[in-house]
Amino acid sequence: MPVEHHEDPFEDRLGGALRQAGDAFETDGATLVTGGEVRGRRLLLRRRATVAGGVAGVALAGIGGALLVPWSGGGGDESVAGDPKPRASASATPSGPVSGDQLLRTLKGLLPEGKFSGEDSRGTGARLGPSARLVYDDGKGPSAIGISMDRVEPGSRQAREVTTCPAKELTPYDACSTSRLPDGSLLMIFQGYEYPDRHVDTKRWNAELVSPEGHHVSLSEWNASAEKDAPISRPDPPLSPGQLKKVVTAKAWRAAVDAIPEDRTPTASATAPAEPPAADGPAIQQTLAGLLPKDVNVVSKGGEESEYGFVVVDDGKGRTFVQINVQPGMSDVEDQLFGPDAEVLPDGTKVTTRQGPGDDKGTALVMWTVDTLRTDGLRVVVSAFNSGSQASAPTRATPALSMTDLRKIATSEEWERLVQTG
């Protein structure tokens, strides 16, 4: 669903950020992996592709946070590449750094027989984190495959988010499941698409594993030779859900995570300012539902553990997706979010509005937005689409909520009370 975050500069402002949420995984993969759904506090909506589980949408060109250990090719999941003899315990900490070449050999040894090309990797000492990627062809068409690893805090929000199936209103997919393994690890298997709006039908399947000790392993595959901008080469990615599980649960990966230098593990700076209290996600959903017009019915809802929620409403004329972010401590980006033409209310709250296309594909999808910033730094931004999700076809000409409705929601005093009590 952090940990190393990249603060989103809002270069494209609200509309661009919302439209690009599904495909905005061109950034450093290590950040996305360790961020698990990919979600920074500055993002306008949850970018878990994460399925998205947080790393399902990692760009293969920069998969980070992952570690593999070398594998000799003969000992199954228990073997560690590069060693003439298998270790007594594959979960034992390697005696030294693991190179990128060793990571690649490990990945190759766990894949079914086939041809490999397009190989790239980083070792355990790399600044951006260890990873391995390649193009695999089992005779039925080339497929990009990448694996990455990092550490997460066991039981943390990040650990939960990265192994939780996303809401289909945010990330359309064909199948997704989360299970607990006998050793206590959480495993999510996701079968979805590279682009949420499916303007290109590239499939992206991935497995996310988080162990009780905090090992995080992320494995992704595509039905093309690259995650983006490559023609579809086969109907489905080559590894079945069962094969994804076999590869991602190999004990060698956990041993490799243990070899990551401690100074490569993101830690909070002792001098960093404390994060402002975040609003509780379920409370945001409940508050949003209570502020809706009386003539709409809530047909589904969801969100995150904090700061973000959504509802899908229907007034009898078609569904509307409504999403909201409640973000304290946003004064530092005020100038990036609100220009000199922003309306200023008597209490000092800044308000800006937007009515325009809901995507950049030339469809009839419409998005209406009201963005507000209180004097104490609390930002509340609410958007409505003329569709049941932000990536599906329109169900009506305009959203079921008017701009007046959205303004009433965004400027409600309920949000201040919610943050204060949260």
Judgement on whether residues 367 and 407 belong to the same structural domain of the protein: yes
CB 236 within 8 A of CB 76: no
Angle separating helix axes 414-421 and 281-290, nearest 10 degrees:
160
Confidence (pLDDT) at 388: 93
Confidence (pLDDT) at 37: 28
Judgement on whether residues 75 and 167 belong to the same structural domain of the protein: yes
Lowest mean pLDDT among 125-129, 142-146, 373-377: 125-129
CB 365 within 8 A of CB 311: no
Q: What percent of the chain has pLDDT over 90?
A: 50
DSSP string across 77-93: GG--TT-SS--S-TTSP
DSSP string across 256-279: HHHTS-GGGS----TTSPPPPPPP
CB 149 within 8 A of CB 257: yes
Judgement on whether residues 255 and 293 belong to the same structural domain of the protein: no
Distance separating alpha carbons of residues 6 and 31, to the nearest angstrom: 7
Angle separating helix axes 100-110 and 251-258, nearest 10 degrees:
170
In this structure, is residue 106 part of a structural domain? yes
In this structure, is residue 285 part of a structural domain? yes
DSSP string across 189-203: EEEEESSTT-SS--E
Lowest mean pLDDT among 261-270, 317-326, 394-403: 261-270
Confidence (pLDDT) at 345: 96
In this structure, is residue 394 part of a structural domain? yes
In this structure, is residue 345 part of a structural domain? yes
Confidence (pLDDT) at 313: 96
Judgement on whether residues 181 and 143 belong to the same structural domain of the protein: yes
Of 295, 306, 285, 267, nearest in space to 382 by CA: 285
The three state secondary structure string of 98-159 is CCHHHHHHHHHHHCCCCEEEEEEEECCCCCCCCEEEEEEECCCCEEEEEEEEEECCCCCHHH
Indicate the average pLDDT of the chain.
76
Confidence (pLDDT) at 72: 26
In this structure, is residue 272 part of a structural domain? no
In this structure, is residue 276 part of a structural domain? no
Judgement on whether residues 326 and 198 belong to the same structural domain of the protein: no
What's the rounded mean pLDDT across residues 69-84?
28
Judgement on whether residues 360 and 211 belong to the same structural domain of the protein: no
Q: Which of 264, 292, 309 is the last residue of a domain?
A: 264
- What digits encode the pLDDT tens for the residues 286-302? 999 999 999 999 999 88
Confidence (pLDDT) at 399: 96
Judgement on whether residues 92 and 150 belong to the same structural domain of the protein: yes
Judgement on whether residues 285 and 318 belong to the same structural domain of the protein: yes
Q: Is 45 helix (H, G, I), strand (E, B) or coil?
A: coil
Tell me which of 17 and 261 has the higher pLDDT: 261
Structural domain span for residue 211: 13-264
Confidence (pLDDT) at 298: 95
Confidence (pLDDT) at 36: 27
In this structure, is residue 367 part of a structural domain? yes
CATH number of the domain that 340 lies in? 3.40.1000
Q: Which of 237, 264, 291 is the last residue of a domain?
A: 264
Q: Which of 203, 229, 264 is the last residue of a domain?
A: 264
State which H helix or E strand residue 175 sits in.
strand 173-180
Reported confidence tier of residue 231, pLDDT bands at 50, 70, 90: very high
User: In the chain, how many domains are there?
Assistant: 2
> Does residue 319 surpass a pLDDT of 50?
yes
Confidence (pLDDT) at 281: 84
In this structure, is residue 333 part of a structural domain? yes
Judgement on whether residues 339 and 221 belong to the same structural domain of the protein: no
Distance separating alpha carbons of residues 188 and 176, to the nearest angstrom: 7
List, edge to edge, every strand of the sheet that includes 343-344: 297-303, 308-314, 319-327, 379-385, 366-373, 350-357, 343-344
Is the pTM for the entire model greater than 0.85? no
Judgement on whether residues 285 and 231 belong to the same structural domain of the protein: no
Judgement on whether residues 149 and 228 belong to the same structural domain of the protein: yes
> Does residue 78 surpass a pLDDT of 50?
no
Judgement on whether residues 293 and 373 belong to the same structural domain of the protein: yes
Confidence (pLDDT) at 275: 59
What's the rounded mean pLDDT across residues 131-159?
93
User: Which of 57-71, 207-221, 349-363, 382-396 holds the top average pLDDT?
Assistant: 207-221
